[in-house]
Chains A and B, each alone.
Chain A
């Protein structure tokens, strides 16, 4: 049973380009969460999605960032017109239910975005 799969593992983009980060949840999980880790900081919640629905995007920057979790396929975190401040590690997690268990989340290995 594969864990949460994120790709790419590393992504380099020039300022102004678009970044697309993919997350495939664990089998049987229909709830996906994205977190961002800026350098030397802890993870911060960005968005919570269920299939075809955004449940909570309170942690998402209002501009340039969007997320989706289509009926088929992985969840996508999209950052348009990237800036240097977007350089961070982006982690995805998934759960079967709409809350964490006593084991917290299972996180993917993260995507490290570098904007040059």
Chain B
């Protein structure tokens, strides 16, 4: 079975400061990892993905994430937070090579950027 843990329900950060949203995963086989963001009353928007290749992936709106196989982590980062980054962030994993064709999501982390 595959699973995702987002250990923080909420992260507060001051505008202009760096932000990190944590994610660890468990999966059989090689993981495909994703970050999505959800604004109130909206669907999920894709931010970035790791499939293979460089461990550091860059995505939309200045976000990046680092795949760490030994720590089974895929933390989301941004060097300088904006108030408009305030939203609900979801980490997700799948492993098609192991026969999984569905995304398993974490519980989500609410990010609040304080002006």
Chains A and B form a bound pair: no
- Give chain B's interface residues, CB within 8 Å of chain A: none
- Give chain A's interface residues, CB within 8 Å of chain B: none
